[in-house]
Structure 1
Amino acid sequence: MSESAFRVDTTARLAQWRIDNLASCTYRKSDPFKIGNWNWHLSVEKNRALYLRLHPEISNLTRDNPPIASFIIRVVCSADDWKALTHPEITDKQLKNNDDFVWPIEVPFTGKFIIDVEFLDLKTASPNGGEPCSIWAEGFTTKQSNETALACLGRMLTEGINTDIIINVSDGSIGAHRAVLASRSPVFHSMFSHNLQEKELSTINIPDMSIEVFQAFLRYIYGNIEHEEFRTHRLALLQAADKYDILDLKEVCHESLMEDIDTKNVLERLQNANLYQLHKLKTSCLRYLVKFGKIYDIRDDLNAFLQCGDRELIADIFNEVLNTWKGF
């Protein structure tokens, strides 16, 4: 049996194991695959029913900080035109060993089939005994440094301490500091360094942004944005980061948008990846659609996209399909 028979393909939150045949084998365990902080295994046991297990690899990390997982798992069989069977969504289930999640499947599967696991969240127990903490939420907050200085910058913004520039947006106005804006954005730096209207009048007009989005944008610049606010506005923040040439914000948005690609957002993410030249996000979306077979789950949305989407982007999708099918 080839090594690829045990390999699990992954994206940031999706794992997919392709099995050609179990007719001559009663038990098979995948190679380890990494999602979040843990290495994982899938296994199948064929008896009267098919028993499917998902569990983290035994390690010190698993013993000390077992994952608390929320996920959707399904099996797609090549028989009957790729029939799919989906387990009810699992929410906040702690997984320590291979008996913590067992799915007995009574429906017989023959021929090729695919096991598809989409992780919705991964948490660890709080060391203080509070609510479990999402590892993906932690991943954002740990990027902040020098908390005292950032707190002072945040106070300058929220309390309006010595503001010297007014920003007029589509539905309101807010005060800020030239020096902070200029230090974070070469576009703002240019505005305040030359004899432009913004320098003379001490105002900036940004009619294409709401005050809610612009406040989130400023809070990122001043270092006091909360994780949920960031996630709520990350597409608009990506647009602002591109417009004002704030590369670190653009990269943070890029990385975040790759973490939770799903069938509801993949086409929008693909178009934004193409618009803002986000190569990793574009590649992830194309893999999700084609290699992981999600293109069949969004046929109506895809047909609408094919009618009015960017021609080059449509060609990229078809090229990904052709390249993937070469491997079959």
Structure 2
Amino acid sequence: MSDSAYRVETLSRLAQWKIDNLSSCTYRKSDPFRIGNWNWHLSVEKNRVLFIKLYPEISNLTRDRPPIASFIIQILSSVGDRKALVHPGITDKQLKNNDDFIWTIETPLTGKFIIDVEFLDLKTAAPNGGEPCSIWAEGLAERGSNATALVSLGRMLSESIHTDITINASDGSINAHRAVLATSSPVFHSMFSHNLKEKELSTIDISDISTEACQAFLNYIYGNVQQDEFLTHRLALLRAADKYDISDLKEACQESLQEDIDTKNVLERLQNASLYQLPTLKSSCMRYLVKFGKIYDIGDDFNAFLQCADRDLIAEIFHEVLATWKGF
């Protein structure tokens, strides 16, 4: 049996294990695969019924901080119309060993099939006994900053301390500091270095962004963005980062958008990845659609997407489809 029979493919929060066949009485355990902070295993055991288990690999981390998982698991036929058996779903279940989650399936399965696991959230218990916190709510946008300086910068913005520039968004205005903007963006730096209207009038018009999104944009520049506002305004922040050439914000948006790709947002993210030249996000969306077979689950939306998408992007998708078919 080839090594590929035990390999689990992963992308973002999704894991898929393709199984060619199970004899009438057999057991198989996958290779470890990484989701979140833990290595995981899937196992299948077939006797009179089929047992599927999902559990973290035993380690010091698992013993000290076992994952509290929310996920959807289903079995898909890997051929034909991809009929699925779907588990009702697991919410906030602590998983320590291979007996904590067992899915018993009495429906006979034959031929090739796929075990598909989509992790909705992974939490760990708070060390002080408080509410468990999500590992995915931790720090994409706050990393690499000096706390004292960030507090001072945040106060300068929130309290309008010695502000000298006004930003006009689509539905309101916010005061800021040209020195801070200029050091964060070469576009802003150019505005204030030449005799342009922004320098003369001390205003910047950003009519394609709301006041809330503009506030999140400034909060990022000042090192004061909160995770919830970052997640809420990711696409607006991506547009602003591209427009004003703020590469670290653009990369933070790309990393974040990769982490929760699903059937509802994958086409929009693929379009944005192509528009803003985000190769890693584009590759992840392509793999999600083609290699993981989610293109079959969004047929109507995908057909509508084909009517308006860029031709080069459509060609890339079909090239990926053909390459995947050749691999089978």
Partner of 1:215: 215
Q: Secondary structure at the match of 2:273?
A: helix
1:153 has 2:174 as partner: no
Cα 1:79–1:231 change in 2 (3 A) is closer
1:128 has 2:128 as partner: yes
Deviations 1:53-99 (A, max 9, x none): 00000011100010011111000124774320111121111100000
**C-alpha contact (below 8 Å) 1:166/1:203 kept by paired residues:** yes
Residue 24 of structure 1 deviates from its aligned partner by 5.6
Q: Secondary structure at the match of 2:140?
A: helix
**C-alpha contact (below 8 Å) 1:7/1:17 kept by paired residues:** yes
Residue 23 of structure 1 deviates from its aligned partner by 1.6
Deviations 1:218-259 (A, max 9, x none): 000001110010000001100000000000000000000000
Letter of the 1:175 partner, please give it: N
Partner of 1:224: 224
State the alpha-carbon separation in 1 of the partners of residues 57 and 28 from structure 2: 15
Letter of the 1:311 partner, please give it: R
- Superposition map of 1:73-88 within 5 A: 73-78=73-78, 81-88=81-88
1:90 has 2:90 as partner: yes
**C-alpha contact (below 8 Å) 1:23/1:110 kept by paired residues:** no
**C-alpha contact (below 8 Å) 1:79/1:111 kept by paired residues:** no
1:52 has 2:52 as partner: yes
What TM-score, normalized to structure 2?
0.98
1:174 has 2:174 as partner: yes
Q: Secondary structure at the match of 1:249?
A: helix
Identity %: 77
Deviations 1:247-301 (A, max 9, x none): 0000000000000000000000000000011000000000000100100000000
**C-alpha contact (below 8 Å) 1:77/1:109 kept by paired residues:** no
Letter of the 1:265 partner, please give it: N
Partner of 2:259: 259
**C-alpha contact (below 8 Å) 2:167/2:173 kept by paired residues:** yes
Partner of 1:186: 186
**C-alpha contact (below 8 Å) 2:141/2:230 kept by paired residues:** no
Letter of the 1:218 partner, please give it: L
Partner of 1:108: 108
Q: Secondary structure at the match of 1:15?
A: strand
Letter of the 2:220 partner, please give it: Y
**5+ residue gaps, structure 2:** none
1:34 has 2:34 as partner: yes
State the alpha-carbon separation in 1 of the partners of residues 265 and 200 from structure 2: 43
State the alpha-carbon separation in 2 of the partners of residues 240 and 52 from structure 1: 46
1:327 has 2:327 as partner: yes
Q: Secondary structure at the match of 1:263?
A: coil
State the alpha-carbon separation in 2 of the partners of residues 24 and 52 from structure 1: 15
Partner of 2:316: 316
Deviations 1:163-222 (A, max 9, x none): 001111111111000100001010000000111111111111111111111011000000
Which one is further off, 204-213 or 224-233? 204-213
State the alpha-carbon separation in 2 of the partners of residues 193 and 238 from structure 1: 25
State the alpha-carbon separation in 1 of the partners of residues 83 and 189 from structure 2: 58
Q: Secondary structure at the match of 1:115?
A: strand
Q: Secondary structure at the match of 1:303?
A: helix
**5+ residue gaps, structure 1:** none
The alignment covers a number of residue pairs equal to 328
Partner of 2:162: 162
1:5 has 2:5 as partner: yes
State the alpha-carbon separation in 1 of the partners of residues 197 and 184 from structure 2: 20
Cα 1:81–1:151 change in 2 (3 A) is same
Letter of the 2:112 partner, please give it: K
State the alpha-carbon separation in 2 of the partners of residues 139 and 209 from structure 1: 24
State the alpha-carbon separation in 1 of the partners of residues 4 and 56 from structure 2: 20
**C-alpha contact (below 8 Å) 1:30/1:41 kept by paired residues:** yes
1:286 has 2:286 as partner: yes
State the alpha-carbon separation in 1 of the partners of residues 178 and 322 from structure 2: 51
What TM-score, normalized to structure 1?
0.98
Q: Secondary structure at the match of 1:277?
A: coil
